[in-house]
């Protein structure tokens, strides 16, 4: 088995808190220098690389003299604001040793949920890559709230992978890769060298967060790989403490767990829809509509909707769920939630009669819908 990074031209590398901090006590400058050296080597080989890095909050806590990571949102935001200064300064100095410039990119879910801001972020990253600048990407913890945050940089790494249509996502952690069970609790756990991203069995076997410093766990990494696969990107989960791990992956060495993308690359607009973490509402479909949407990718008509959940406006992204609560699709609503409640279960010909006007014959047109 050969590493898929060997043939990847555009790569997103995500490093977790445990790999860039001294057990949460500020930044590990030697570690940052190592990542800069490894990424510089990949770029010398002609690969485009973006770095998603944690560490700002841990650095901020150290600078503020806080022994433990706070739980209050406003304190986390303050720590992030202070820590971002140190994180950027450290990376800038590390990459400068290799003749490379860096740029700080801070993102929130709102940046990627809004179509215009999504495209602006995409253009900015594409321009930076064309200029041979290394983007250092992190969640904008200084302004984000608990309701709209990505939640972990694994998810952010996957969203960036989709955003710039990278070939591969490399998630570096302090674990060897993915096991059939938590090896710290189950000595007989089997190491998984390769699997398909999105395999439900992977989510069942994944454990919770294993570190007091970061917010991720193997489950977040598996879900990130599933998300990255929507744009056709493979994911490698590997131990960041392995010597020259990125260079060896680029050489084709099979390190860690490879999660393969089994789907074709999704069209950019539908990919944007699929990447929404926060949805404005839900449409509950009857069995026939759920089957038609899931299997044939048809538009959603009002007659196939049996319930409307939430408050949304025309143009908001809503989920389409079946009777078991499983999301089968999501898309841009042609009608508000109030209007949808009035026309649900009714044939298209009655929309104008009920509302007094006809915006579109469908609740969601198939061109504005992505099946999941």
Q: What is the CATH number of domain 4-270?
A: 3.40.1160.10
Count, residues in the chain = 372
What is the distance between the alpha carbons of residues 177 and 179, in angstroms, rounded to a whole number?
A: 7
pLDDT band at 134 (very low <50, low <70, confident <90, very high): very high
pLDDT of residue 203: 81
Residue 284 phi, psi (nearest 5)? -90, 120
The structural domains of the chain, with segments of one domain joined by +, span 4-270, 279-371
What is the distance between the alpha carbons of residues 83 and 56, in angstroms, rounded to a whole number?
A: 4
Tokens of 36: 């800069």
Q: What is the CATH number of domain 279-371?
A: 2.30.130.10
| Angle, alpha carbons 266-323-224 (nearest 5°) | 35
**For the residues 107-117, what does the mean pLDDT come to?**
81
Reading phi first (left if > 0) and then psi (alpha if -120 to 50, else beta), residue 191 is in beta
What is the distance between the alpha carbons of residues 66 and 79, in angstroms, rounded to a whole number?
A: 9
pLDDT band at 216 (very low <50, low <70, confident <90, very high): very low
How confident is the model over 154-180, as pLDDT tens digits?
989 999 998 888 999 999 998 899 888
Percent of the chain with pLDDT over 70: 93
What is the distance between the alpha carbons of residues 176 and 239, in angstroms, rounded to a whole number?
A: 5
What's the distance, Cα to Cα, between the start and end of the chain in Å?
Answer: 29
Q: Which helix H or strand E contains 235, and what residues bound it?
A: strand 234-239
State the chain's mean pLDDT as an integer. 88
pLDDT band at 2 (very low <50, low <70, confident <90, very high): confident
What is the distance between the alpha carbons of residues 316 and 296, in angstroms, rounded to a whole number?
A: 23
pTM above 0.95, yes or no: no
Choose between 143 and 303: higher pLDDT: 303
Sorted by sequence, the CB contacts under 8 Å of residue 144 that are 6+ apart come out as 77, 108, 109
Checking if the pLDDT of 214 tops 60, the result is no
How confident is the model over 8-55, as pLDDT tens digits?
999 999 998 889 988 767 899 999 999 999 999 999 999 999 999 988
């Amino acid at each position: 088995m050969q590493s898929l990074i060997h043939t990847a031209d555009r790569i997103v590398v995500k490093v977790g808190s445990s790999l860039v901090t001294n057990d949460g006590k500020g930044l590990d400058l030697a570690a940052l220098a190592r990542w800069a050296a490894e990424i510089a080597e990949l770029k010398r080989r002609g690969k485009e690389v973006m770095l998603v890095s944690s560490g700002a909050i841990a650095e901020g806590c150290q600078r503020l003299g806080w022994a433990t990571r706070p739980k209050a949102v406003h304190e986390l935001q303050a720590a992030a604001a202070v820590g971002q200064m140190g994180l950027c300064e450290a990376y800038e100095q590390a990459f400068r040793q290799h003749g490379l410039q860096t740029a700080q990119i801070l993102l929130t879910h709102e940046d990627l949920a809004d179509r215009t801001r999504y495209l602006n972020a995409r253009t900015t990253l594409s321009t930076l890559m064309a200029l041979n600048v290394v983007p250092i990407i992190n969640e904008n913890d200084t302004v984000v709230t608990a309701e709209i945050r990505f939640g972990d940089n694994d998810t952010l790494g996957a969203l960036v992978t989709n955003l710039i249509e990278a070939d591969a996502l490399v998630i570096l952690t302090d674990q060897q890769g993915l096991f059939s069970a938590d090896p710290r609790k189950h000595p007989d756990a089997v190491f998984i060298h390769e699997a398909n991203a999105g395999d439900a069995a992977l989510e069942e076997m994944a454990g919770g967060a294993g570190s007091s410093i970061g917010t991720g766990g193997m489950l977040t990494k598996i879900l990130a790989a599933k998300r990255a696969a929507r744009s056709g990107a493979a994911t490698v989960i590997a131990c960041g403490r392995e010597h020259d791990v990125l260079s060896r992956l680029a050489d084709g060495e099979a390190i860690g767990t490879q999660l393969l993308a089994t789907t074709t690359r999704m069209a950019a607009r539908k990919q944007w829809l699929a990447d929404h973490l926060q949805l404005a509402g839900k449409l509950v479909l009857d069995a026939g509509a759920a089957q038609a949407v899931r299997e044939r990718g048809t538009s959603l008509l009002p007659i196939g909707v049996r319930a409307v959940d939430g408050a949304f406006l025309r143009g908001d992204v809503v989920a389409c769920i079946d009777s078991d609560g499983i999301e089968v699709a999501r898309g841009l609503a042609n009608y508000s939630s109030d209007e949808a409640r009035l026309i649900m279960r009714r044939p298209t010909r009655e929309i104008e009669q009920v509302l007094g006007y006809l915006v579109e014959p469908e609740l969601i047109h198939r061109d504005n819908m992505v099946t999941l």
